Structure 1
Amino acid sequence: MWLINLVENLLSVTRIEEGRLNLHITEDLVDDVITEALHHVNRKSVEHHITVRYKEDYLLTKMDAKLMVQVIYKYCGQRH
């Protein structure tokens, strides 16, 4: 499944460059999106500790959750 998402990410980059990316905006919990992304980061590297702090107990926002997971994963993956 993660490989499929990676290929979709590459296709998304192509669509962004061509100006034809379709976003799938939904209301999602920020914690769920971060947890999903960190789940993949932790599989690759267990020696790094990542702490996430929230000002709110539940933060619900409109976003394309799948793309945000990919952004967080790539950011964290480049940090170690």
Structure 2
Amino acid sequence: MMIVDTAVTVWWTGGTPVRLVWLGRRWRVTDVPTRLTTTPSDLPTAITHAPERTAGWRFQATAEDGETLVLDIVPDGDGWTVARTWT
């Protein structure tokens, strides 16, 4: 795992990421993205279905040259940042 913190431009279809430009390279999402979520920790115990907030996305992406990585992207202000990668 490599921890990074660089901006990424993301294209979306149906609310999920499908393409991105990162570090000057074009990438395609080549699997089904997984939504990373968080739930508030200070909710009353009577709540059985706590609301979830999207904390990011994890997916496999393939560059034009065939390199493939797994990426975590997270919100960063008005955009997105690549937070982690796996080869």
TM-score (norm 2): 0.27
When Rg is computed on C-alpha atoms for both structures, the one with the higher figure is 2
Give the structure with the higher percent helix.
1
Return the structure number with greater relative CO, CA threshold 8 A, min gap 6: 1
TM-score (norm 1): 0.28
Give the structure with the higher percent strand.
2
